[in-house]
Amino acid sequence: EYVDMIGGNFDGHPWGHEGTYCLCNEDPRHPIVRYIFDGNLSFNLNDELYQYKDFDREKVRVLLSIDMSKFKNHRGGRKREDNDYAMAWIKSFGKGRIFVSSPGHNHHIYWNKDILKMWYEGFRFALGEIEVDTSTKPKPAYALPPKEGEKNPSTRFKTPEESQATFKLQNGYSLELVADNPLVTEPTVCVWDGNGRMYVAEWRTYMQDIEGSGTSDPVSQVVRLEDTNEDGIMDKKTVFAKDLLLPRMILPLLDSVLSAESDTNDIFEYLDTDDDGVADEKKIWYEGGDRGGNVEHQPSGLIWSIDNWLYTTYNDYRLRFTNGKVEKGETKGNRGQWGLTQDNSGKVIFVDAGSGIGPVHPLFPNVYSKWHPKWALEDGFRQVFPIDEIADSQGGFGSMRSNGSAKSFTATCGQSVFRGDRLPKELIGDLFFHEPVGRLTRRAVVKTDEMGRRIFQNAYSEDEFIASSDANFRPVNSATGPDGTLYLVDMHRGVVQESAWVPEGSFIHSAIKHYTLDQNVQRGRIYRVRHQDFEPGSRPKMLNETPSQLVRHLSHPNGWWRDEAQKLILLRGDKSVIPALRTMAIEDSSPLGRLHALWTIEGFDAIEQDFLKVLYDDPDPRVRAAAIRITEPFFHRDMRNVTNLSALTKDKHPDVAIQLLLSASSKVSPETRSLANAVLAAHPQNTYLREIDEELNKDYFEELARQKEMAQLEAEEVELLVAGKKHFESLCASCHAPDGTGTDAPDGTMKMAPSFINNPTVIGSKDILMKVALQGISGPLRGKSYMGGFMMPLKTNDDDYIAAVLTYIRNSFGNDAGMIKIDEVAQARKETSNITQSFTEASLRELQLNSGSEIKLWTLSASTGEQHLQFLQDEDESTTYATKAEMKPGMWIQAEFPHQRNVFKVILRAKNNDYPEMLKVEISEDGENWRTVADEVEGKQLTSIPFDMEVAKKVRITNLKGKKLWWQLYELQIIGPGMGDIDQYKPSDRHYLQLSNAEAIKIGWSSAKQDRSVTGGDLKVAGEKFSHGIGTHAHSEIIYDLAGRDYKRFYSKVGHNDGGRDTYLTFEVHVDQEKVFDSGDMKKGDPAKALDISVDGADELKLIVTNGRDGKPEGDHADWGNAFFVK
């Protein structure tokens, strides 16, 4: 009656007290809620709000309700399918009146003038002072989420003019649209050739629906855009190369273009021999081979750096084109994700996306080090300041502000150092990169202190260079253009997370469907950043110029021109310009011109030591540092040449001292260590230099120690560890941190991902780790939440990749666990082939409960002789655990598992008579509290102690009687599910196979027998007898119809009957025409093999026995021992 009177009953509070939520004023003209919150239909309120059960809108007049059109209100714990959550209502009840208000939990609500006004008028209604309408009204459609298939109006595509109105730029700047759909479709990269023609990669199959259907269809393309009337706006499109699989990188050369697709490390050269804008010849330029991995975790970039090497992301090498051949050189590992850039000195800048870090290893060229100290990014640098208020961050509401906008980096990419000349000079050298989830572009300034530390800072206080409220503004790349401005590639679409990150049931999946973002595809835009005080520069004609003419551009104020000129000079290969280059490197008035001239000479392999000695005295530290770096090949060949650098150790500029340390680390020797020590001695106050030296040479000495350790390992494990280290550093380190401790989230309140150090999933069951790696995992783990909230599945990578990276993390960061073999990954992949969802903590626990049988993973302890427990964990069957003391009551042995697991039996195999006469078994689920599961069990040489299935973290076996012998054990087994033991299934649950129920039986000799061998004797394999089962003979096939029988498992132990001949046979099990078990060759005397197979939902089971490798069927007597189904 109370609930009927009130109109509803408390049913939880999905909207917690710390959040700010959007409420709907369902009738702003109603006297009780008139004019509150300025008469707005929707308003934000910070309070703890309740949901109600037994609520019926038809019986009340709702005044306020949750605005369910706003996705930020879609919190977990909601229970109404109609999305009707009333927050304030009135009704009449008998002769009385009811006014209900959910707002009123937080203290500050009592000072909110609008809520107070509502309460005042509501109280007046309840007291009978005013008459108001109490008739029911339907919930307004605008406060409900879009219906299935209905477009969300807040995320519709906008016209260019409408989009311009959504941009917020810093004063004086604007965005000019230079290409729009259909001129560009799904653009991801833009670059220019020497004549200023733009090449764009179009990802036409990227996330065309929420499942990512057709992603691997080869229908993407590279197009060439031209501005034929030189107004700065592209007006001509030519498809340069088509039928591609998501092209990842583009680098124009002379009359050709390099490009690479997804799922391969190959780079192809596309030639346009008639210059019509269409490639008419394709040939391999670099053969890197196939590769796997998610399309977001594959190489991109391909820039020709000032050092004449070509760099990409996501690998550990660089490439160089010399004398018509491609040379491969190692790096310390290239992280980053999408996009690549370099600064004016040639430092390649990587930006990491998934971990929310932003710039990574930003200090030094990564041929030396990937060092990334935390101070390299200013505190708070990873916080972002969007204006979109669209709640579609992958990390869920915890990663967003109360208005739904992202708090921090989640998908940073598309970086470029601005090096142009047609925007304000203050921008030169600044790093621009994008956060497409936040719909913004960050400008980062690089501050250098007196010791040479480079620190990245947001150029603006709690603001961004560009931000937009357009849901489809998705900036993914940028570049300094030939015209001296900054170009932005806007993929202009709804979804920017690949399907692996948006599994059904995830937060982001729900957000995408709510906003109907998955419907927004096949568009694209390219902008350039303009400033009111500057006009764009002229278009280049470099492809038409001679090498001598190109040399002049090496000192151009626009870095794009300098880079392009250097590349084209080297590609033309005309060494007659070398004298002019030498003169320029020494005499040019532009330091950057001198720098490019020097590196161009290096590209011709025309460097001489005497020439470098002149440049050691250059007035600009960038030129001096480059000359030091170019000296490295000379002292690599002959260490005596290190002395040429001695005079520079006292150079006062920190960049020169830093480069000396970097070069010294490139080949560690007594001579280079002497050079490094001289630098440190000359700058005793610069503690940063010592920090650098320790970091650089720490790797060297650690590598020596690692090589010494690996010399003791098997060759296969060495290979896996080496490969795994590279894979880890290029991908996993983003979220799990290079030292395995887990990367801190931007706000410091949590980690991006769990630590690998002593992680029970990592060092525990190999089977679990492999399956989690293959399928991914989402949500909290072991009671902790992580900012990323989701680890992507690695199943798109091959078995070698997964085996390598898992072996590495199991044997690094202080972990010491077994290697994972390639064939083990293949088996785990097969076993999880039908899994479509990532693991959660709940499903991981279910997996863990049925694993953990490897004794090597257990922590063993004992009351006596604990030091001898190691012999239970070795592989030598002749060694024993021994107490080396007489057995006394209370003497115990204990096993602790890496995680809780199901157990139902303990097996002890003793030496001779050295076993207790009576024992008990106790289990502890939490490791603290104990419970007896088997008591006063008689001991034997082989003691088997079954009990009901229990969840245990620890198991203890205790002796109950004295005995004047030692306790000695060859073997300790603690049995759980999946280990082939029949006792995991209660006798009452076993439905033994009956030949009379078989749909079909075929046998090669005699007839199949029920509960007997084919000859009528015992079912007996290697001395093990079976009271139930089927005896048959090769070749045989027995088929059972399972349709509608609700069987879940099929169990049996199979083997060659002891009464047969010394021949070979094999057992196979097929479920619905798919082979799910193959015993391999088994001969008489081999122990029986257990099989435990899922038949859940299956229609047919086929049991097959075939001839073994000897091809002889005679005497192939086969036993399906204890064959039964489980429901």
- Interval 690-711: pLDDT, tens: 999 999 988 777 776 766 666 6
Q: How confident is the model at residue 831 (pLDDT cuts 50, 70, 90)?
A: confident
Task: Specify the DSSP element, H or E, that contains 59.
Answer: none
Place of tokens 């399918």: 81
Q: How confident is the model at residue 109 (pLDDT cuts 50, 70, 90)?
A: very high
CA-closest candidate to residue 932, choices 916, 945, 915, 942: 945
Q: What is the DSSP letter of 874?
A: S
Task: Look at residue 218 in the predicted model and tell me its pLDDT.
Answer: 95
List all residues 6 or more positions away from 742 whose beta carbon is below 8 Å from its beta carbon.
735, 736, 751, 752, 753, 754, 755, 756, 786
pLDDT tops 70 at residue 153: yes
Neighbours of 798 (CB within 10 A): 18
Rounded to whole angstroms, the Cα distance separating 591 from 582 reads 14
From residue 1081, alpha-carbon distances to 691, 1087, 1116 in Å are 61, 12, 11
CA-closest candidate to residue 1117, choices 976, 1012, 1023: 1012
Residue type (1 letter), 70: K
| Greatest mean pLDDT range, 394-408, 661-675, 700-714 | 661-675
Classify strands 310-312 and 1036-1041 as parallel, antiparallel or unpaired: unpaired
Task: Give the dihedral sign, CA 819/825/831/836.
Answer: positive
- Can you read off the two tokens belonging to residue 429? 């050298």
For domain 165-531, the CATH superfamily is TolB, C-terminal domain (2.120.10.30)
Task: Look at residue 15 in the predicted model and tell me its pLDDT.
Answer: 86
What class, spelled out in words, does domain 985-1126 have in CATH?
Answer: mainly beta
Rounded to whole angstroms, the Cα distance separating 643 from 621 reads 20
Question: Average pLDDT of 804-832?
Answer: 89
Question: Average pLDDT of 132-157?
Answer: 86
pLDDT tops 80 at residue 782: no
547-687 fold? Leucine-rich Repeat Variant (1.25.10)
Residue 601 near residue 607, CB atoms below 8 Å: yes
Q: How confident is the model at residue 2 (pLDDT cuts 50, 70, 90)?
A: confident
Task: Specify the DSSP element, H or E, that contains 640.
Answer: none
Question: Average pLDDT of 178-188?
Answer: 97
Question: Average pLDDT of 468-477?
Answer: 96
List all residues 6 or more positions away from 690 whose beta carbon is below 8 Å from its beta carbon.
680
Task: Look at residue 224 in the predicted model and tell me its pLDDT.
Answer: 97
More confident position, 752 or 1081: 1081
Residue 341 near residue 417, CB atoms below 8 Å: yes
Rounded to whole angstroms, the Cα distance separating 471 from 166 reads 10
Classify strands 525-531 and 315-322 as parallel, antiparallel or unpaired: unpaired
Please tell us whether the domain made up of 2-143 is placed in CATH 3.40.50.880: yes
Residue type (1 letter), 726: K
Domain ranges of the chain: 2-143, 165-531, 547-687, 713-771+779-836, 855-978, 985-1126
Task: Look at residue 297 in the predicted model and tell me its pLDDT.
Answer: 86
From residue 137, alpha-carbon distances to 34, 39, 140 in Å are 16, 19, 8
CA-closest candidate to residue 1092, choices 951, 977, 950, 986: 977
Q: How confident is the model at residue 788 (pLDDT cuts 50, 70, 90)?
A: low
Q: What is the DSSP letter of 1034?
A: S
Rounded to whole angstroms, the Cα distance separating 353 from 337 reads 6
Q: How confident is the model at residue 1085 (pLDDT cuts 50, 70, 90)?
A: very high
CA-closest candidate to residue 507, choices 377, 399, 632, 600: 399
Task: Look at residue 320 in the predicted model and tell me its pLDDT.
Answer: 96
Rounded to whole angstroms, the Cα distance separating 761 from 107 reads 44
Report phi then psi at 720, rounded to 5: -65, -40
Please tell us whether the domain made up of 855-978 is placed in CATH 2.60.120.260: yes
From residue 307, alpha-carbon distances to 104, 598, 890 in Å are 65, 10, 73
Q: Tell me the whole-structure pTM to 2 decimals.
A: 0.73
Helix segments in 711-819, DSSP class H: 715-727, 733-736, 760-763, 766-775, 799-810
Question: Average pLDDT of 603-627?
Answer: 96
Neighbours of 836 (CB within 10 A): 9
Task: Look at residue 763 in the predicted model and tell me its pLDDT.
Answer: 86
Residue type (1 letter), 978: G
Neighbours of 220 (CB within 10 A): 25
Rounded to whole angstroms, the Cα distance separating 84 from 56 reads 10
Task: Look at residue 751 in the predicted model and tell me its pLDDT.
Answer: 82
Q: Lowest mean pLDDT of 238-247, 709-718, 932-941, 1087-1096, name the range.
A: 709-718
- Can you read off the two tokens belonging to residue 830? 């097969």
Question: Average pLDDT of 968-994?
Answer: 89
Q: pLDDT (tens digit, 9 = 90+) per residue, 1022-1039?
A: 999 999 999 999 889 999
Question: Average pLDDT of 250-266?
Answer: 96
Q: pLDDT (tens digit, 9 = 90+) per residue, 1004-1020?
A: 888 999 999 999 999 99
Residue 335 near residue 314, CB atoms below 8 Å: yes
Dmax over CA atoms of the chain, in Å, equals 106
CA-closest candidate to residue 790, choices 506, 518, 411, 513: 506
Q: Lowest mean pLDDT of 130-134, 727-731, 825-829, name the range.
A: 727-731
In our burial notation (b when 16+ CB lie closer than 10 A, e otherwise), range 490-515 reads: bbbbbbbbbbbbbbeebbbbbbbbbb
For domain 713-771+779-836, the CATH superfamily is Cytochrome c-like domain (1.10.760.10)
Task: Look at residue 165 in the predicted model and tell me its pLDDT.
Answer: 96
Neighbours of 412 (CB within 10 A): 30
Task: Look at residue 714 in the predicted model and tell me its pLDDT.
Answer: 67
Rounded to whole angstroms, the Cα distance separating 437 from 992 reads 57
Residue 485 near residue 530, CB atoms below 8 Å: yes
Same fold, 855-978 and 985-1126: yes
Angle at 430 between CA 425 and CA 434, to 5 degrees: 125
Q: pLDDT (tens digit, 9 = 90+) per residue, 883-932?
A: 999 999 999 999 998 888 889 999 999 999 999 999 999 999 988 999 99
Q: pLDDT (tens digit, 9 = 90+) per residue, 52-92?
A: 999 999 999 999 999 998 888 888 778 888 889 999 999 99
Task: Look at residue 185 in the predicted model and tell me its pLDDT.
Answer: 97
Q: How confident is the model at residue 712 (pLDDT cuts 50, 70, 90)?
A: low
Q: How confident is the model at residue 393 (pLDDT cuts 50, 70, 90)?
A: confident
Residue 573 near residue 543, CB atoms below 8 Å: no
Rounded to whole angstroms, the Cα distance separating 924 from 930 reads 5
From residue 579, alpha-carbon distances to 86, 308, 551, 599 in Å are 82, 19, 11, 14
List all residues 6 or more positions away from 722 whose beta carbon is below 8 Å from its beta carbon.
none
Classify 696 as helix, strand or coil: helix
Task: Look at residue 1005 in the predicted model and tell me its pLDDT.
Answer: 85
Q: pLDDT (tens digit, 9 = 90+) per residue, 550-606?
A: 999 999 999 999 999 999 999 999 999 999 999 999 999 999 999 999 999 999 999
Classify 688 as helix, strand or coil: helix
Classify strands 9-10 and 52-53 as parallel, antiparallel or unpaired: antiparallel
Average pLDDT score over the chain: 92
Residue 23 near residue 86, CB atoms below 8 Å: no
Task: Look at residue 649 in the predicted model and tell me its pLDDT.
Answer: 96
Q: Lowest mean pLDDT of 126-140, 777-791, 892-906, name the range.
A: 777-791
Classify strands 301-304 and 310-312 as parallel, antiparallel or unpaired: antiparallel
Q: pLDDT (tens digit, 9 = 90+) per residue, 296-340?
A: 889 999 999 999 999 999 888 999 998 889 999 999 888 888 999
Neighbours of 913 (CB within 10 A): 12
Angle at 291 between CA 288 and CA 297, to 5 degrees: 115
Question: Average pLDDT of 442-470?
Answer: 96
Rounded to whole angstroms, the Cα distance separating 1112 from 130 reads 100
Length of the chain: 1127
pLDDT tops 90 at residue 227: yes
Classify 635 as helix, strand or coil: helix
Classify 921 as helix, strand or coil: strand
Residue 953 near residue 925, CB atoms below 8 Å: yes
Q: Quick check: bond before 182 cis, omega within 30? A: yes
pLDDT tops 80 at residue 750: no
pLDDT tops 70 at residue 376: yes
Rounded to whole angstroms, the Cα distance separating 1118 from 1114 reads 11
Rounded to whole angstroms, the Cα distance separating 265 from 157 reads 36
CA-closest candidate to residue 972, choices 938, 945, 933, 932: 945
pLDDT tops 70 at residue 936: yes
Rounded to whole angstroms, the Cα distance separating 689 from 465 reads 34
Backbone φ/ψ region at 567: left (φ over 0), alpha (ψ -120 to 50), beta: alpha
- Can you read off the two tokens belonging to residue 811? 């044997």
Taking CB atoms within 8 Å and a gap of at least 24, the contacts of 1015-1021 are: 1015/1059, 1015/1117, 1017/1057, 1017/1059, 1018/1058, 1018/1059, 1019/1057, 1019/1119, 1019/1121, 1020/1057, 1020/1058, 1020/1059, 1020/1119, 1021/1053, 1021/1054, 1021/1055, 1021/1056, 1021/1057, 1021/1058, 1021/1086, 1021/1087, 1021/1088, 1021/1119, 1021/1121
Rounded to whole angstroms, the Cα distance separating 645 from 648 reads 6
Q: Lowest mean pLDDT of 213-222, 678-687, 745-754, 980-989, name the range.
A: 745-754
Side-chain-side CA neighbours of residue 49 (13 Å): 26
Q: What is the DSSP letter of 729?
A: I
Place of tokens 């039928």: 243
Give the rounded percent of residues in the chain with a pLDDT score beyond 70: 98
